[in-house]
Amino acid sequence: MFLTSALIVVAAILPALWPEWVGVYIQLGVGLAVLGLVALLSAPLLGLALVGIGIALVVAALLAQIVAT
Which residues lie closer than 8 Å to 14 by C-beta, 6 or more apart? 25, 57, 60
Number of domains the chain contains: 1
Local structure of residue 21 (DSSP, 8 states): G
Whole-angstrom Cα distance, residue 59 to residue 54? 9
**Domain containing residue 11:** 2-68
pLDDT exceeds cutoff 80 at 27 = yes
Residue 9: pLDDT band (50, 70, 90) is confident
CA–CA dist 27, 62 (Å, integer): 11
Q: Is the pLDDT of residue 59 over 70?
A: yes
Query: What number of residues does the chain have?
Result: 69
